[in-house]
């Protein structure tokens, strides 16, 4: 936390220059904090059977960036919400597009996405290596738009990172502070 300090030359804490410097310092600290802790991202699930844990059949219904106490909606398609949820759950391990597609097509949570809505099992969007790469590009574009709206000075590639390997394979990893909420 930043505290107002007296001006060294005058001993004053009330001058206009002191206020400007305080806000400048605060902006630097907030930007450094975003780089260190990551963006705060809230993923909303609905249609769940329990309020305390995620289960196959729920729907990933929304995603928000939380900044300075305000929620900024990421206007994402179902496919992008599912990808973001997946990357949030597996943010400790970078994975290539083939690995991500395989897991999205096989993990029960994503295969049975929104099946609790009624009418039997609804399959989530099928994924391929190419579709994952396209979704990553679209997701970054949406992050960029949301960061601009929220006044966050951060490059989306610092949040949804691409890591190259020794064979030019690209692996994707989410660097964010992610939490989940269950709503009806």
Which has the higher per-residue pLDDT, 135 or 118?
A: 135
What pLDDT score does 122 carry?
A: 59
* pLDDT above 90 for 183: no
Nearest to 90 by CA among 183, 163, 178: 178
pLDDT digits (tens, 9 = 90+) for 22-75: 455 544 444 444 444 579 999 999 987 777 788 888 999 999 999 999 999 999
Asked if residue 61 lies in contact with residue 45, where contact means CB atoms within 8 angstroms, the answer is yes
* pLDDT above 70 for 170: yes
For 118: left if phi > 0, alpha if psi spans -120 to 50, otherwise beta; the answer is left
The pTM assigned to this predicted structure is 0.78
Rounded mean pLDDT, 140-168: 95
Cα 165 to Cα 3, 83, 162, 170, 172, distances in angstroms: 44, 22, 10, 6, 11
Is residue 162 helix, strand or coil?
A: strand
Nearest to 117 by CA among 76, 59, 50, 53: 59
Asked if residue 57 lies in contact with residue 114, where contact means CB atoms within 8 angstroms, the answer is yes
What pLDDT score does 160 carry?
A: 96
What pLDDT score does 5 carry?
A: 44
What does the domain layout of the chain look like in residue ranges?
A: 1-37, 38-183
* pLDDT above 90 for 120: no
What pLDDT score does 53 carry?
A: 81
């Amino acid at each position: 936390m930043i505290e107002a300090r007296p001006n060294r030359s005058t001993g004053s804490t009330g001058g206009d220059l002191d206020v400007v410097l305080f806000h400048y310092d605060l902006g630097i600290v907030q930007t450094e904090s975003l780089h260190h802790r990551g963006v705060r991202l809230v993923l909303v699930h609905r249609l769940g059977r329990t309020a305390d844990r995620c289960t196959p059949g729920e729907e990933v219904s929304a995603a928000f960036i939380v900044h300075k106490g305000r929620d900024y909606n990421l206007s994402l398609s179902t496919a992008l919400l599912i990808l973001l949820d997946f990357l949030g759950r597996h943010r400790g391990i970078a994975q290539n597009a083939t690995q991500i597609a395989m897991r999205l097509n096989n993990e029960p949570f994503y295969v049975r996405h929104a099946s609790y809505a009624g009418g039997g099992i609804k399959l989530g969007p099928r994924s391929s290596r190419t579709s994952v790469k396209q979704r990553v590009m679209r997701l970054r574009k949406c992050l960029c738009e949301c960061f601009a709206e929220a006044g966050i000075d951060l490059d989306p590639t610092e949040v949804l990172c691409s890591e190259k390997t020794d064979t030019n394979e690209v692996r994707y990893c989410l660097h964010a502070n992610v939490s989940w909420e269950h709503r009806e």
